[in-house]
């Protein structure tokens, strides 16, 4: 099956119930002018999949297959998070539930700050990176999911800055810009973020 056959299906299910992600994806997909309706899974009464993979890639595929199986439509899923090398890559795939409760941004941010506090050295930045993996399946049993990955490198602040975005955005510092990702507009963020990078690769695949 050709990689763009799904474009003839009329609908592409966005396998997410995360309001922050959905808001960013709505803007990103709007720029593509796809000949399909991109519908968030919540509008189809599809609940979140059980994310029991061991990597961003595995979890993205799990979520995409879940949404496709229930809807009978092609689906695209995002699995993303922040990875901090000095924490051996944590929070990683557990970013959304790092503090225990899924989707509690404030608690997750507090735990990350607490975990990093004893590791900080005066005058030294702590590196971090946002990772986004998109998985596109044309049907639930698609043997060849299409994978698009974006990585956004920065530093982890000692305290939150900014009111925009979601997740760990207030702690993610971009030294080359002198702002946190929570101090950027959606448009600014989408141009350079991990999710924006993955979407650029997705867009490029449509031209093949």
Residues annotated in a binding site for substrate:
16-21, 80, 166-169, 189, 194-195
Interacting residues of 69 by C-beta distance below 8 A, sequence separation 6+: 140
Polymer length in residues for the chain: 208
Residue list, annotated binding site: 16-21, 79-80, 166-169, 189, 194-195
- Residue 149's DSSP bridge partners are 133
Q: Is 175 exposed, middle or buried (0-12, 13-18, 19+ CB in 10 A)?
A: exposed
Whole-angstrom Cα distance, residue 80 to residue 92? 8
Known binding-site positions for Mg(2+): 79
Q: How many C-beta neighbours within 10 Å does residue 166 have? A: 16
Q: Please say if 37 is a catalytic residue.
A: no
* Alpha helices (H) along 31-143: 56-71, 105-116
Token representation of residue 108: 């997750």
Catalytic residue among 37, 48, 78, 79: 79
- Asked if 56 and 93 touch (Cβ cutoff 8 Å), the reply is yes
**Dist CA 111 CA 182 (whole Å):** 18
- Active-site residues, by number, are 79
């Amino acid at each position: 099956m050709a990689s763009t056959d799904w474009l003839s299906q009329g609908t592409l299910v966005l396998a997410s119930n995360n309001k922050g992600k959905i808001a960013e994806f709505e803007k990103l997909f709007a720029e593509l002018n796809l000949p399909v309706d991109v519908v968030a899974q919540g509008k189809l009464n599809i609940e979140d999949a059980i994310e029991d993979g061991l990597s961003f890639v595995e979890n993205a595929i799990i979520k995409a297959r879940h949404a496709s199986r229930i809807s009978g439509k092609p689906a695209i899923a995002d699995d993303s998070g922040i990875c901090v090398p000095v924490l051996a890559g944590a929070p990683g795939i557990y970013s959304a539930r790092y503090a225990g409760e899924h989707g509690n941004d404030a608690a997750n941010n507090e735990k990350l700050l607490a975990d990093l506090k004893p590791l900080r050295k005066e005058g030294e930045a702590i590196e971090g990176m946002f990772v986004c993996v998109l998985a596109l399946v044309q049907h639930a049993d698609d043997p060849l999911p299409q994978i698009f990955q974006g990585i956004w490198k920065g530093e982890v602040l000692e305290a939150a800055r900014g009111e925009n975005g979601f997740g760990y955005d207030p702690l993610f510092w971009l030294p080359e810009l002198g702002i946190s990702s929570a101090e950027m507009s959606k448009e600014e963020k989408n141009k350079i973020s991990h999710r924006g990078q993955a979407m650029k690769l997705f867009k490029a695949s449509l031209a093949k």
